[in-house]
Amino acid sequence: MFLLRLAARNVFRRRGRTLIISSILVLAVAMFILFESLMVGMMDVSFRNVIDFEIPHIEIARKDYFTESEKSHTLPIGKRFIPEDRLISDVQKLKGYQAMTGILEFSADFISGRYEFPVRVRAVDPDTFNDVFMNSQYIVAGTFLDGNGPGVVIGSRLAEFFDLDVGEYFVMRFTDIGGSFNTIEGEVTGIVTTPHPDINLTTVFVNREHAAPRIGVEDLAVTQLMVRLEDRELASSQSNALMDTLGGNPLQARSYREGADFLVSLEQWGYLETYFLLALFLLVGAIGIISAVVLSAIEREKEIGMMKAMGMGESSILRLFMLEAGGIGVVGGALGCLIGAVIIFFFNTYGFDMDIFMDFSEIGVPVSGRIYGPWNFDAFLLIFVIVVIVSIIASILPALWAARKNPIDAIEKR
Partner 1 sequence: MSLLTLEHVDKTYGQGDLQVHALNGVDLTISKGEFTTVFGPSGSGKTTLLNLIGALDRPTSGSVVFLDKPIGSMNRHEQAAHRRFHVGFIFQSYNLIPVLTAYENVEFALKITGIRDSKKIHSQVTDMLDHVGLSELMHRRPNQLSGGQKQRVAVARALVKHPKLVLADEPTANLDSKTSKEVIEVMLRMNRELHTTFIFSTHDPMVMEYARRMVEIRDGNISQDTER
For residue 9, state whether it binds partner 1 (rule: CB under 8 A).
yes
Question: Which listed range, 175-183, 250-258, 274-282, 299-307, lies at the site for partner 1 (CB under 8 A)?
Answer: 299-307
**Cβ closer to partner 1: 6 or 264?**
6
Min dist CB 304 to partner 1, Å, is: 10
Min dist CB 405 to partner 1, Å, is: 11
Q: What's at 192, amino acid-wise?
A: V
* Residue selected from 90, 176, 258, 314 as contacting partner 1 according to rule CB under 8 A: 314
Q: Give the separation between CA 341 and CA 377, rounded to whole angstroms.
A: 10
Q: What's at 174, amino acid-wise?
A: F
**Cβ closer to partner 1: 312 or 396?**
312
**Cβ closer to partner 1: 190 or 327?**
327
DSSP summary character for residue 62: E
**Cβ closer to partner 1: 38 or 403?**
403
Min dist CB 407 to partner 1, Å, is: 5
For residue 310, state whether it binds partner 1 (rule: CB under 8 A).
yes
* Residue selected from 243, 283, 295, 411 as contacting partner 1 according to rule CB under 8 A: 411
For residue 400, state whether it binds partner 1 (rule: CB under 8 A).
no
* Residue selected from 99, 264, 306, 334 as contacting partner 1 according to rule CB under 8 A: 306
**Cβ closer to partner 1: 80 or 405?**
405
**Cβ closer to partner 1: 359 or 412?**
412
Q: Angle at the Cα of 320 (from 318 to 324), degrees rounded to 5?
A: 115
Question: Which listed range, 50-58, 275-283, 298-306, 361-369, lies at the site for partner 1 (CB under 8 A)?
Answer: 298-306
Q: Are 230 and 96 in contact (CB under 8 A)?
A: yes
Q: Give the separation between CA 49 and CA 370, rounded to whole angstroms.
A: 13
Cite the beta strand spans of 215-363 per DSSP E. 224-229, 251-255, 352-353
The residue count for binding partner 1 (CB under 8 A) is 22
Residues β-bridged to residue 224: 103
Q: What's at 86, amino acid-wise?
A: R
* Residue selected from 236, 291, 303, 348 as contacting partner 1 according to rule CB under 8 A: 303
For residue 295, state whether it binds partner 1 (rule: CB under 8 A).
no
Q: Which string of b and e fits 292-324 if b means at least 16 CB within 10 Å?
A: bbbebbeebbeebbebbeeebeeeebbbbbbbb
**Cβ closer to partner 1: 306 or 389?**
306
Q: Which string of b and e fits 29-39 if b means at least 16 CB within 10 Å?
A: bbbbbbbbbbb
For residue 15, state whether it binds partner 1 (rule: CB under 8 A).
no
* Residue selected from 311, 357, 362, 363 as contacting partner 1 according to rule CB under 8 A: 311
* Residue selected from 82, 272, 280, 309 as contacting partner 1 according to rule CB under 8 A: 309
**Cβ closer to partner 1: 76 or 305?**
305
For residue 224, state whether it binds partner 1 (rule: CB under 8 A).
no
Q: Give the separation between CA 20 and CA 332, rounded to whole angstroms.
A: 10
Q: DSSP string of 163-192?
A: T--TT-EEEEEEE-TTS-EEEEEEEEEEEE
Helix (H, G, I), strand (E, B) or coil at 223: coil
* HSE-CB for 410 with a 13 A CA cutoff: 21
Q: Give the separation between CA 177 and CA 78, rounded to whole angstroms.
A: 6
Chain-centre distance of CA 157, in angstroms?
24
Q: Give the separation between CA 150 and CA 207, rounded to whole angstroms.
A: 7
* Residue selected from 4, 13, 84, 350 as contacting partner 1 according to rule CB under 8 A: 13
For residue 246, state whether it binds partner 1 (rule: CB under 8 A).
no
* Residue selected from 74, 193, 291, 316 as contacting partner 1 according to rule CB under 8 A: 316
**Cβ closer to partner 1: 9 or 93?**
9
Contact residues: partner 1, CB under 8 A: 2, 5-6, 9-10, 13, 302-303, 305-314, 316, 407-408, 411
